[in-house]
Amino acid sequence: MPVTQELYNTPLKVDGGDYKAANVDAIIIGAGIAGLTAAHGIHRAHLSVLVFEASDSVGGAIRTLRSNGYLVECGPNTLLDTHPEVATLIEEVSLSDARIFASDKAKKRFVVRNGVPVPLPTSAGAFLRTPLFSTRAKLRLTAEPFIRKRRTNGEESIASFTTRRLGKEFLDYAIDPFVSGVYAGRPERLSVQHAFPKLGEIEERYGSLIIGQVLGARERKRRADTAKTSGRMFSFENGLDQLPLGIADALGQRIRTRCRVRSIHYLNPNWQVEYEDASGRIRAANANSVVYASGLQHTSLIASLSSTAPEIETVDYPPLNVVALGFRTEDIGHALDGFGLLVPACEDRFVLGALFSSTLFDGRAPVGHALITAFVGGARSPDNASLDDANLLSATVQDLTSLFQLKTGPVWHHISRWPKAIPQYNLGYGSVKAALNNIEERHPGLFFAGNYLSGISVAESIRSGVTASEHVESFIRKSQPVVI
Ligand SMILES: Cc1cc2nc3c(=O)[nH]c(=O)nc-3n(C[C@H](O)[C@H](O)[C@H](O)COP(=O)(O)OP(=O)(O)OC[C@H]3O[C@@H](n4cnc5c(N)ncnc54)[C@H](O)[C@@H]3O)c2cc1C
């Protein structure tokens, strides 16, 4: 097996610098996509901004590796053009032309049933014929429009919601693998109201998911002429990290990598941010406002403000490993003709699922080779994520061998470990959001941004960064004296 040559995105070379004397309009903690987007918006509003990032590169969870002719996404693989803020940001950093869209083949997705990958049906006819669901489960679906809305208030788990409306088999072979693919989470724990709020809203509005689906599609069709690219899946020619690198390029020296923020204090009327620079020295910087975009894995920072709400400290971030595997095409029996494959928990396998990365986008594997990206761990099987590299690799390959009729092992691999990967919007997440709102209200000039607010996707994280930048701008403008 060739030794992996790692070529992560180039770290920005900047020195720590002491900003105690200067007072900037905003300090951003964390150069993930949410923090970068916030900094970008603040900079465009002609306000002064500084970004402190603990690691040596920007992008946070967005991390692209180029090695041995493969282009691997160690974190997210795709971005969805679901919100106008995404296209606007990409345009503003002049990356619109660098976008590449997912292959048409990616419309097909597989779900494992009885150890075999079965295509997820995409039409009514295919649904009637698919072996993915039993006749009983298909008949059960026809009852859905007649099931009454839930009467009780409060959060409901995705498992309870789905079983109530669509039946247990639909939970097992459609929703459970989907939830695992998006959140690496468990439907028994995730809250419908926070993890998939649209589902709860459809039930509330139409009284039925099936009726809501039909009427919602009609409404979307009517709107289609104004949002033609809405919902398209894309990446960039050189991988997803082109986006954070593009934003960082425009911000230049305003970003300080290898600067870990240790505490934040409100020293009326300013904020003081204490950080450790690359050489280990403790320094301080002052600002009129602060955007906290470093995730809820690091709540000691929030605790430095006031006593942290226990809800915030206990947000679950299960571990997730990304195992990228390069094969000679001739060694794979499966056509890899789709987006990827999802594994339901009841199938009791090692991997959570796998993406057909080289089918999804061009240029992801050398000619004659294919790239498969498997996911291991998550809330379903966190112990699998703690295996050492050799055991993780062999268990992953063994599991995929029967699914893809592999004739031999991979010719190349790379493992990325995310010890705290994705925040779980579990039951009770409403109190996490309420606690965050409460902290924001009690601290003028402090704003939150990131994937723990209103969605874990890259698109939602971008949106949260845009909102934070708008809040900073209006806060700063309000606190400035009006010049007549
Ligand atoms: C394996 C994986 C696959 C995924 N797949 C997809 C996908 O296909 N599509 C999709 O839309 N989403 C996907 N996601 C989710 C999405 O990538 C993330 O939710 C999103 O990128 C998070 O952005 P963020 O800016 O909120 O946080 P992060 O990216 O976590 O950024 C936070 C930043 O803060 C920094 N930081 C932390 N503490 C400090 C400190 N004390 N001082 C300074 N800096 C600090 C961190 O180093 C980090 O750079 C995936 C996530 C993972 C992990």
DSSP secondary structure string for all residues of 392-419: HHHHHHHHHHHHHTBSS--SEEEEEEET
Q: Which residues contact 169 (CB under 8 A, 6 or more apart)?
A: 133, 134, 136, 137, 140
Specify the pTM: 0.92
279 C-alpha to center of ligand 1: Å?
Answer: 25
Closest protein CA for atom 15 of ligand 1? 457
Provide the token pair at 238. 């050189």
Do 338 and 355 contact (CB within 8 A), yes or no?
no
Give CA–CA dist 484/349, Å, rounded.
69
3-class secondary structure, 63: coil
Instruction: For the domain covering 133-226, report its CATH number.
Output: 1.10.3110.10
Give CA–CA dist 210/448, Å, rounded.
36
- 484 secondary structure, DSSP code: -
- Asked whether 37 lines ligand 1 (CB < 6 A), one says no
Q: What confidence score (pLDDT) does residue 306 get?
A: 66
Domain at 318-418, CATH homologous superfamily: Protoporphyrinogen oxidase, mitochondrial; domain 2 (3.90.660.20)
Domain coordinates in residue numbering, the chain: 19-64+82-100+237-316+426-479, 133-226, 318-418
Closest atom, ligand 1, to C-alpha of 80? 11
User: What are the backbone dihedrals phi and psi of residue 98, each rounded to the nearest 5 degrees, phi first?
Assistant: -85, -5
- In 405-457, alpha helices (H): 429-442
Q: What confidence score (pLDDT) does residue 22 get?
A: 60
- Asked whether 322 lines ligand 1 (CB < 6 A), one says yes
- Asked whether 260 lines ligand 1 (CB < 6 A), one says yes
414 C-alpha to center of ligand 1: Å?
Answer: 19
Give CA–CA dist 13/203, Å, rounded.
51
75 C-alpha to center of ligand 1: Å?
Answer: 8
Chunked mean pLDDT (size 10), the chain, 484 residues: 30 41 87 98 97 96 97 97 92 97 93 97 93 95 90 91 95 95 95 93 89 80 51 93 97 95 90 93 95 89 73 93 98 97 97 97 97 98 98 98 97 98 96 93 94 96 98 91 54
Query: 72, exposed or middle or buried, with CB in 10 Å at 0-12, 13-18, 19+?
Result: buried
Q: Which CA distances in Å does 468 have to 51, 326, 431, 436, 471?
A: 14, 40, 21, 13, 5
Nearest 5°: CA angle at 445, between 84 and 273?
Answer: 110
Give CA–CA dist 465/448, Å, rounded.
8
Same fold: 19-64+82-100+237-316+426-479 with 318-418: no
Q: What are residue 274's DSSP bridge partners?
A: 263, 284
Q: Which amino acid is at 87?
A: A
- Asked whether 247 lines ligand 1 (CB < 6 A), one says no
User: What are the backbone dihedrals phi and psi of residue 259, each rounded to the nearest 5 degrees, phi first?
Assistant: -125, 100
Do 132 and 173 contact (CB within 8 A), yes or no?
yes
- Asked whether 55 lines ligand 1 (CB < 6 A), one says yes
3-class secondary structure, 41: helix
Closest atom, ligand 1, to C-alpha of 320? 1
Closest protein CA for atom 29 of ligand 1? 60
62 C-alpha to center of ligand 1: Å?
Answer: 6
- Asked whether 392 lines ligand 1 (CB < 6 A), one says no
Count how many residues are written for the chain. 484
- Asked whether 357 lines ligand 1 (CB < 6 A), one says no
Instruction: For the domain covering 19-64+82-100+237-316+426-479, report its CATH number.
Output: 3.50.50.60
Q: Which CA distances in Å does 308 have to 156, 267, 300, 312?
A: 26, 19, 8, 7
Q: What confidence score (pLDDT) does residue 481 get?
A: 58
Give CA–CA dist 205/380, Å, rounded.
32
Reported in sequence order, the residue ranges of 102-212 that DSSP labels E, i.e. its strands, are 109-113, 116-119
At 187-213, the pLDDT tens digits run 999 999 999 998 988 998 898 898 888
* Pairing state between β 369-377 and 353-355: antiparallel
Do 293 and 305 contact (CB within 8 A), yes or no?
no
Closest protein CA for atom 8 of ligand 1? 76
Instruction: Please give the helix or strand (H or E) that residue 276 lies within, else none.
Output: strand 270-276
Residue 149 burial (CB count, 10 A): 11
Give CA–CA dist 325/370, Å, rounded.
8
- Asked whether 467 lines ligand 1 (CB < 6 A), one says no
Closest atom, ligand 1, to C-alpha of 74? 1
Quickly list DSSP for 327-358: EEGGGB-S---SSEEE--GGG--S-SEEE-HH
Do 210 and 145 contact (CB within 8 A), yes or no?
yes
Query: 66, exposed or middle or buried, with CB in 10 Å at 0-12, 13-18, 19+?
Result: middle
Q: Among 422, 463, 467, which is best to mutate for testing ligand 1, by the most ligand atoms less than 8 A from CB?
A: 422
* Rounded CA Rg of the chain: 23
235 C-alpha to center of ligand 1: Å?
Answer: 16
Closest atom, ligand 1, to C-alpha of 55? 47
